[in-house]
A and B are shown apart, each in its own frame.
Chain A
Amino acid sequence: MDYILEMRNISKEFPGVKALNKVNLNIKPGEIHVLVGENGAGKSTLMKILTGVYSKDEGEIILKGKKIDIKSPKEAQIAGISIIYQELNLVPQLSIAENIFLGREPLKKNGLIDWEDMYRKTNELLKRLDLNLEPRIKVKKLGIAQQQMVEIAKALSFKSDIIIMDEPTSALTEKEIEQLFKVMKQLKSSGVAIIYISHRLEEIKKIGDRLTVLRDGTYIGTYAVDSVDIDKIIQLMVGRRLEEKFPKEFAAISNNVLEVKNLNRKNVLKNISFVLKKGEVLGLAGLMGAGRTELARAIFGVDPIDGGEIYINGIKVNIKSPSEAIKNGIGLLPEDRKMQGLVQALSVTHNVTLPSLNNFIKKIFLNKKKENDITYAYVEKVNIKTPSTSKKVRFLSGGNQQKVVLAKWLCANVDILIFDEPTRGIDVGAKVEIYKLINNLVKEGKSVLLISSELPEILGMCDRILVMHEGEITGEFLRQDATQEKILACATGRLKNVG
């Protein structure tokens, strides 16, 4: 067979877990090969073995017909295998050229750096990617999409013929994704093989040639993308049929709980007015940078506002800090749950009780038994999979971490929950669990403001949908009236639909 890379029967065991069990992966030159599986399926472990971060326990790797043993990331790079991680590995203070040639700068005979040569080579690489960037620009001045392109240029500079991309689109806008796909196709036609990891299944159909499915560390199969549909892929990934991707249930919707009138923040929010009702899931759609996260932060008292009023249950409130927002019954599940939602080094219990610690004080001392008991109850309620409540949250999976963030607001007894991209980077099975939890919340009479960049999620889960564009609300739709096209038209400012 004409494979450029074959991984055969790869096994890897960590203390207590068999992370990979006889997994196969075959890559043809010049193909885009998608690797799918839920979190914990073994995708990243397999890639770390391929790039020499981990050593394999069993199996063999055959590159261009030769059996090789990759012992370090450097060896992988020399062998022509590059990886672009979700978290980009660039030095922000250095220029594009300096980043690309970091550690292997072209030298002049006298041992000094040959800048001219470095800039020339960088220019060539950028041109190959159709990028109009100046090699001298510092990386911190670039957007995330452009930084990713720099990573790709760096990979090319190693003459890589296999490039691994780990969820490259999770932080990109639609337009940037298109640009990335264009570059990927270009690379493909020049013979570079791409191993592509993504949770966005729609992308697979768009860009992939073949796909390999992993589940619980085992190899499920390799398929031509054209031969399977998305439902089939999901079924292969989770090993069962998901009855529904968006199990929406409807709760009784009644009075206004949150009312925002003419909220303004200079250059960020313009005359934002809307209501959120009891029992309602209100969607907030829009492109990246439309001001949705900023609106959430303004309501939650993190960022100051220049003008406008907020009413909770009809009473005007003045929220200047998160603690005041919490007192008024508002909880925020931030976009970046790792950095903003949780203290990774604290236990599940200590994270859950953090906003409501005052409820666990006896005289001046913490009532740890009460803390543990109540946390335990919430762990059961939202179904957090953890060996114990004293486990540090950094050891939990993304979906379970999100549930801990939710548990902490339930424990603080808030009525209004702002979810900012709650399912980003979470696998399909856990997504459905989060949706079911949202259902339960509104059935209990709570209200949900759901910020999401995934339109199917907005359309599938919300009772009503607001659309933002450049800090303004440009659209409002009832569930039954909303379509992807209308929302996108409002999100790009081409249509206004406000009552």
Chain B
Amino acid sequence: MSDKIQKQVMAKEQKTSVGIMKFITGEYLQKFGIVLALLIMCIALSIMSPYFLKVSNFVNILLQSSINAILAFGLTFVIITGGIDLSVGSVLALAGVVMGVVLQNQGNVVIAIFLGLIVGALCGFSNGVLITKLNLPPFIATLGMMSIARGLALVITKGYPISGLPPAVRFLGADKLAGIPVPVLLVIILFVISHIILSNTKIGRYDYAIGGNEEATKLSGVNVDKYKIIIYTISGLFAGIAGIVLAARVNSALAIAGMGYELDAIAASVIGGVSLMGGEGSASGTLLGAVVMGVLRNGLNLLNVSTFWQQVVIGVVVIAAVSLDQLQKKRR
């Protein structure tokens, strides 16, 4: 009895001391770094522009970050394994286009959305199979898929946009629930799901283990191939969701949608502390990364900085974020 109590007390002490240690040793520091950077940016922008500090503007920022955030959540799973998925931008377009074509031809909204998502997941699944069964490097497999998916989207639409989507679809991109735009709600839901998968399920645990040491994970009896395929399928599925939301927002499915979005999504993950070496990262970090990019774009827009210069700034921020991370690691 007393033994048990003692153990509980020890466990508790352990827990708090661990919390404090993490705090001190800087495991949280990085995340605080992003939050701090975000706060400084917000303060600076609200001084420089009277429009920045408005609720409507914040809702706008989240809405503009939503597609990037959804793609980045999917990519986070992949990058934690030490892999990469370059195909998400193209898969996004293919999923949107497939939904559009189905809507054009028979109109059932549920089936159309479902098929769009399935195609997204299938692309991810194929990536996973190519990487695990044919031993292709993730960069190559998904580079190929990037071209295949884009090509198929163009073939299906012959390059023409599919416009005039039904209201039930447009709801996903343009409507609001309780004053919050539906894409933003979706981001929140997908964030919660990603966070739970990563921190509370087998898939998440194996994800970090594979990224940390694939060989040791295999020798611990984990079916590494199976879980990698699942993880790439998740990335494809998230790209599919993003494709449908984007089509709904702009009220048309375009084969050229999402060009280069994969790079933005990688940037958001990396700013959010996901390590391209694998084994490190979190859904909350990635969400912060996507918001940082959104605030930056929005702020630069409000300050009338040209989109050309915006590109430059985003690039600088990505490099700065990773450099800070590296410096911190060196010090530890």
Q: Which residues of A contact B (CB under 8 A)?
A: 300, 302, 321-323, 325-326, 332, 334, 339-346, 350, 354-355, 357-358, 361, 364-366, 368, 372-373, 376, 387-390, 408, 412
Contact with A along B207-224 (1 / 0, CB 8 A): 011011101111111110
Top 6 A-B pairs, shortest CB-CB distance: A323-B221, A343-B212, A345-B212, A326-B221, A343-B213, A354-B220
Q: How far does the alpha carbon of A358 sit from the alpha carbon of B221 in the complex, in Å?
A: 11
Can you list 29 A-B pairs with a CB-CB distance of less than 8 A? A321-B223, A322-B218, A322-B221, A323-B223, A325-B221, A340-B219, A343-B216, A343-B279, A344-B212, A344-B213, A345-B212, A345-B213, A345-B279, A346-B209, A350-B205, A354-B222, A355-B220, A355-B222, A357-B205, A357-B206, A358-B202, A364-B202, A365-B201, A368-B200, A372-B11, A387-B17, A388-B17, A388-B18, A412-B221
* Known A340-B219, A354-B220: A376·B202 in contact at CB below 8 Å: no
- Cβ B216 vs Cβ A341 within 8 A: yes
Tell which of B11, B201, B212, B223 touches A346, judged by Cβ atoms closer than 8 Å.
B212
User: Are B14 and A340 closer than 8 Å at their CB atoms?
Assistant: no
B262 at the interface (CB under 8 A from A): no
- Give residues 83-110 of B contacting A (CB, 8 Å): none
Does B7 belong to the interface (CB within 8 Å)? yes
Contacts of B216 in A (CB 8 A): 339-343
Interface size on B, residues (CB 8 A): 27
- Extra pairs beyond A342-B213, A354-B209 (6, CB < 8 Å): A339-B216, A343-B212, A343-B213, A354-B205, A355-B221, A366-B205
The interface residues of chain A lying within 8 Å CB-to-CB of B206 are: 357
How far, in angstroms, from A325 to B222 measured CA to CA in the complex?
11
Asked whether any CB of chain A lies closer than 8 Å to the CB of B264, the reply is no
A346 pairs with B208, CB closer than 8 A: yes
Shortest beta-carbon distance, A335 to chain B, in Å? Answer: 11
Once the chains bind, are B11 and A373 in contact (CB under 8 Å)? yes
A328 to chain B, nearest CB (A): 11
Shortest Cβ distance from B218 into A: residue:
A322
Instruction: List, in ascending order, chain A residues with CB within 8 A of B220's CB.
Output: 322, 354-355, 408
Looking at A343, A354, A361, which has the most chain B CB atoms within 10 Å of its CB? A343
Residue of B nearest to A324 (CB): B221
Please name all residues of chain A whose beta carbon is closer than 8 Å to the beta carbon of B212 when the two chains form the complex. 343-346
Residues of A within 8 A of B14 (CB): 388-390
- Smallest distance from the beta carbon of A385 to chain B beta carbons, Å? 14
Determine if B219 and A341 form an interchain contact, defined as CB atoms under 8 angstroms apart. Answer: yes
Residues of B within 8 A of A332 (CB): 219
In the complex, A412→B220 CA distance in Å? 10
Bound-state CA distance A332–B220 (Å) is 9
Give the complex CA separation of A345 and B211 in angstroms.
9
- Residues of chain B contacted by A334 (CB below 8 angstroms): 219
Q: How far is the CA of A328 from the CA of B138 in the complex (A)?
A: 33
Contact with A along B1-43 (1 / 0, CB 8 A): 0000001000100100110000000000000000000000000
Query: With a CB–CB cut-off of 8 A, which chain A residues contact B200?
Result: 365-366, 368
Instruction: Give every chain B residue within 8 A of A388 (Cβ-Cβ).
Output: 14, 17-18
- Is B17 a contact of A357 with CB atoms below 8 Å? no
How distant is the Cα of A199 from the Cα of B121 in the complex, in angstroms? 53
Q: Given that A340-B215, A365-B200 are known contacts, is A390 also in contact with B18, CB under 8 Å in the complex?
A: yes
Whether the pair B217, A354 counts as a contact (CB closer than 8 A) is yes
- Interface positions, chain B 263-314, Cβ under 8 Å from A, are 279-280
Q: B202–A322 contact, CB under 8 A?
A: no
Q: Is the CB of B213 within 8 A of A339?
A: yes
Most buried by A among B7, B14, B196, B221: B221
- How far, in whole Å, are A358 and B211 apart by their CA atoms in the complex? 20
A322→B208 CA distance, assembly (Å): 19
* Min CB–CB distance A348 → chain B (angstroms): 11
B12 CB → nearest A CB, Å:
11
Chain A's nearest CB lies how many Å from the CB of B265? 23
From A300, A361, A412, B202 is in contact (CB under 8 Å) with A361
Known contacts A322-B221, A388-B17, A388-B18: A339-B201 contact under CB 8 Å: no
Q: How far is the CB of B269 from chain A (nearest CB, A)?
A: 17
Distance between A131 CB and nearest chain B CB, rounded to angstroms: 33
Which chain A residues lie closer than 8 Å to B205 at the CB level?
Answer: 350, 354, 357, 366
Which residues 146-171 of B have a CB within 8 angstroms of A? none
**Roughly how many angstroms separate A79 CA and B146 CA in the complex, as a whole number?**
55
**A264 CA / B93 CA spacing, docked (Å):** 52
Q: With A and B bound together, what is the CA distance between A340 and B215 in angstroms?
A: 6
Residues on B with C-beta less than 8 A from A300 are 219
Contacts of A326 in B (CB 8 A): 221
Chain B residue nearest to A341 (CB atoms) is B216
List A contacts of B201 (CB < 8 A).
364-366
Which B residues touch A358, using CB under 8 A?
202
Residue of B nearest to A394 (CB): B212
Residue of A nearest to B22 (CB): A390
CB-CB under 8 A from B222, the residues of chain A are: 323, 354-355
Do B217 and A357 touch across chains, with their CB atoms under 8 A apart? no
Residues of chain B lying within 8 A (CB to CB) of residue A366: 200-202, 205
Complex alpha-carbon distance, A388 and B13, angstroms: 10
Q: In the complex the two chains form, what is the Cα distance from A79 to B77 in whole Å?
A: 49
In the complex, what distance in Å separates the CA atom of A206 from the CA atom of B222? 45
Q: Which A residues are in CB contact (< 8 Å) with B211? A: 345
Residues of chain B contacted by A408 (CB below 8 angstroms): 220
Among residues of B, the one whose C-beta sits closest to the C-beta of A361 is B202
Q: Point out the residues of chain B lying under 8 angstroms from A350, CB to CB.
A: 205, 208-209
Shortest CB–CB separation between residue B157 and chain A, in angstroms?
Answer: 38
Cα A368 to Cα B200 in complex, Å, equals 8
Residues on the B chain within 8 Å of A343, using CB:
208-209, 212-213, 216-217, 279
Q: How far is the CB of A357 from chain B (nearest CB, A)?
A: 6
Residue among A302, A357, A387 making CB contact with B219, cutoff 8 Å: A302
User: Which residues of chain A are near B218, meaning CB under 8 Å?
Assistant: 302, 322
Measured in the bound complex, the distance between the Cα atoms of B220 and A341 in whole Å is 8
> Which A residue sits closest to B8, measured CB to CB?
A373
Cα(A373)–Cα(B280), bound, Å:
25
Q: Least Cβ distance of B204 to chain A in Å?
A: 8
